[in-house]
Each structure stands twice: as C-alpha cells, then as structure tokens.
Structure 1
Amino acid sequence: MLEEWKNKRAAKRIVPGDGTPLKRFRWWHHITGRKLGYVHAHGAAGRELTYAVDVRTGGEHPLAHLYVGGFQEATSRLPALFTVDGGSIHVALSSSGLKRFHFVDDAGQSHHLEPDARSAAGRRIALARRHPRADAVIAWISVILLIVGVGLNAVQIIEPIANIPPLVERFGHFESPIHLPLWLNVVLALGAAAATTERSLRLRHHWLLDSFGA
C-alpha cells in the first residue's frame, strides 16, 4: 500500500515534455551537477527503444527529464518515476548524489541506467570494466574509509550529547575513550567525503554510511 501511494505521488509530479532534443554531455556539466543515463528496453511491438534520463540537480528543485528517441517526453521533480514500455524508471537523490537511477522491468528486475560515457560515473564504470581488480580495491578502500569515519566520529560526538545535564543525572557522566586532534578529524572527514563520492558514482548507497560521509 505504501509503495502504491508513493507511485501515485510520483505520477502527479510528471508533466509533459516539450519535445526538445537531448543535449550531449559536456565537461562543465560535472560542475553543474548534471547526471545522464540510458536504458534500452523493448516496446509493445517488440522493437527496441532507447530512453535517456537527464537529471539536473543545480536548481532549487532538482528535475529529471525523460527522453525517448532523443526527444524530451516528460519532466518530473525528484523523486521521479517514469512508466515506460517494458517497465519503469526510478530516480532519487541522496545528500551525496543519486541513490536511485534504475530501470525496473516488468518482471521486477532492477538494472542501473548506463551513465553517459563522458560523465564521471561513466568514466568510473569504464575503469571498473578495464581494471576489475583495481575497481575492487578502490571499492574496499571506500567502505573502510566510511566505516572508520563513522565509528571514530560517532564515539566523539556521543560525549557532548551524553553529558547534557538531564542525561548525566539519569545515566551518569560519559567520557569518550577517543579524542583525536582536529587535523586528523579533518582528514577523516575528507576521506569519508571522497569515499561517498566514489560510491555515488557506482550508485552504491547505504542509509547510514553514505549520509554520514556526505
């Protein structure tokens, strides 16, 4: 029932597109927060259709634009759900980037959209295909940086919260066993942010780790 309610809300956010042609991805779009991905699906007549989803995150209200055959078919505020031949396309943002950029086919199978080859996500996937071992090492380093960042910072954050007078009266004084110097906390924060960015390029998102890293 909750899923059905979410789908109805998403449908209300969709407005018809204006038919403009899809613009190619340019290098400066890395700065403006543009995301571009593709999916190939079979239409009702059995012919293959190419859908492109162009996500613009730079404005006050992030938008996703659906292109069919290279022309704008529909636009939606995020989170977006576009119903297309063969399934549906889901787009959602997290604080660190895209957490949902998937095509769900009629059989219920979920597939990542293929990022544009010129985008950062496209280049990251190309690296993974060319060098799978290096990809695995980078992925593990990202997870370790996030776990260390979450663990060490969480222990330090608990201390000032736990020592609020009402909590001290109820539970007693708490002193963190870890007190890191400022420079190391900054390094950990930067490492966690870099790891979160790397994971977002691969559409890997964990509600706790990646939210903290952002």
Structure 2
Amino acid sequence: MFTRTRRRRHLARARPGDGSRVQRFRLRQLFTRSLFAVDLAEDSGDRHLYEVDVRHGRDSSSTRRPAALYRDGVQVLAGNLPVAFPVPGGVIEVATGQFGVKRMHLVGHDGREHVLSPHPRSLEGRRARFDRRFPRASAAVGVVGLVVLLAGLAVSLSLAAEQVTRVEVVAQYVGTFTSPVHLPAWANLTLTVAVALAATDRALRVKSTWMAD
C-alpha cells in the first residue's frame, strides 16, 4: 500500500516535456550529469529507446526540471526528483541522494525491476565498465566500501548515543553511555573521507542505501 501510494505521488510529478532533443554527453558534465537508457517494446511490437537524463546541479527551484525522459531522443516528460515516468510495461523510478543517483530502476507491472544501462562516458558507465573488466577487483571494492560504511555508522551511532544520554532527563531513565570510540582529528577526517568515497561508489553502481545518505 505504501509503495503504491508513493509511486502515485512520484508519477504525479512527471510533466509533459518540451520536445527538445537529448544533448550529447560531454566530458565536462562528468560530475554534474547522469544519463541512463533502456530499450522497450510498445504494445504494437515497435521498439523505442528511452533515456533518463539527470542534472545534479538542478533542483525544484531551477527553471528546468532536474530529470527528463526522452523517447528516441525527444523529451516527452520531465519532473522534479524523486519522480516516476510511465513507460511501456511499467514505470521508471528516479531518485538521487547526497552522493549521486540512488534509484534508476525500471519496475514492471509484474513487480520485477532492473537498473537502466548507464551512458558509457558517464561516471556510472565508467564504473560499470570497470566491473565488467575486473569483476574480482570490483567486488573487493564493494566489500571494502560496505565495511567502511558500517564502521562509519557504528562510530556515528555510538557518539550520538553518548550525546543523547548526557541530557539529564534521558540519563534519569536510561543512565549514561560512554562511547568506546573517540577518534583523533586525523582519524575522524580519514574515516569521513573514506565513508564519502564508499557512498559515492555505491551510488555509481545505483546501490545506495540509507547508510550512504
């Protein structure tokens, strides 16, 4: 029920496109743009290329919406994030987080879903190419990144619990908690950078989780 309600709300954010052509992906857009594509068949059997263009520098206050859907290179829909675009056979759900795209999934009417293919020149496309060429190294990077995220989460929760239990009203009921981890400034900075890199790697693979954001 919650998923259907959320999807209806996101579908309502999709507005008619302006009919413009999709722009070529340029190297200077590496950190400001994500472009994904999927080939879909209409009920008639004709196949069309659907592309989702996300501009990370835009938000709801921008004159142009941050996400747009193109059909065979022509903009047909656009919307503020998070948004869902109706396509043949289902919807494309699009969302971003602090470190990049966290959802770019085609969700079929049967509930099955898969991630759209990233443009080869985009950061997501380059990360996907690394995964294909060096699967073991890619898997190792993923595991290390997950461990770093868990470590960062554990440290953050521990310090947060210590601060909360210092409040007199809370301490009266649950006592006080002293975090076993107090990192020096250099170690805290190193962990922060490592967590950001790990979260970015998961975003590039469209595998962001609540831990990353």
Same fold judged by TM-score > 0.5? Answer: yes
**Which secondary structure does the structure 2 equivalent of 1:141 belong to?**
helix
| CA gap 1:8/1:153 in 2 versus in 1, 3 angstroms | closer
> Are positions 1:183 and 2:182 aligned together?
no
| In 2, Cα distance between equivalents of 1:166 and 1:206 | 33
Contact 2:59 2:66 in 1 (8 A): no
Q: Structure 1 residue runs of 4+, over 6 Å off?
A: none
> Are positions 1:53 and 2:52 aligned together?
yes
| In 1, Cα distance between equivalents of 2:4 and 2:171 | 45
| In 2, Cα distance between equivalents of 1:56 and 1:204 | 19
Displacement of 1:171: 2.7
Match of 1:123 in 2: 126
Superposed CA deviations along residues 51-75 of structure 1, whole A, max 9, x for unmatched, are 0000112123262101001111111
| CA gap 1:25/1:174 in 2 versus in 1, 3 angstroms | same
Displacement of 1:93: 1.9
| CA gap 1:175/1:4 in 2 versus in 1, 3 angstroms | closer
| In 2, Cα distance between equivalents of 1:153 and 1:11 | 35
| In 2, Cα distance between equivalents of 1:5 and 1:173 | 41
| CA gap 1:157/1:7 in 2 versus in 1, 3 angstroms | closer
| In 2, Cα distance between equivalents of 1:110 and 1:98 | 16
| CA gap 1:106/1:4 in 2 versus in 1, 3 angstroms | closer
Match of 1:210 in 2: 212
Match of 1:95 in 2: 98
Identity %: 35
Q: What are the within-5 Å matches in structure 2 for residues 25-36 of structure 1?
A: 25-31=25-31, 33-36=32-35
| In 1, Cα distance between equivalents of 2:152 and 2:4 | 37
Displacement of 1:12: 2.5
**TM-score normalised to structure 2 length:** 0.91
Task: Give 5+ residue unaligned stretches, structure 1.
Answer: none
State the aligned residue count.
209
| In 1, Cα distance between equivalents of 2:160 and 2:10 | 37
Displacement of 1:202: 0.3
**Which secondary structure does the structure 2 equivalent of 1:210 belong to?**
coil
Displacement of 1:152: 2.2
In angstroms, what is the RMSD of aligned CA positions?
1.6
Match of 2:19 in 1: 19
**TM-score normalised to structure 1 length:** 0.91
Moved more, 110-119 or 178-187: 178-187
> Are positions 1:150 and 2:153 aligned together?
yes
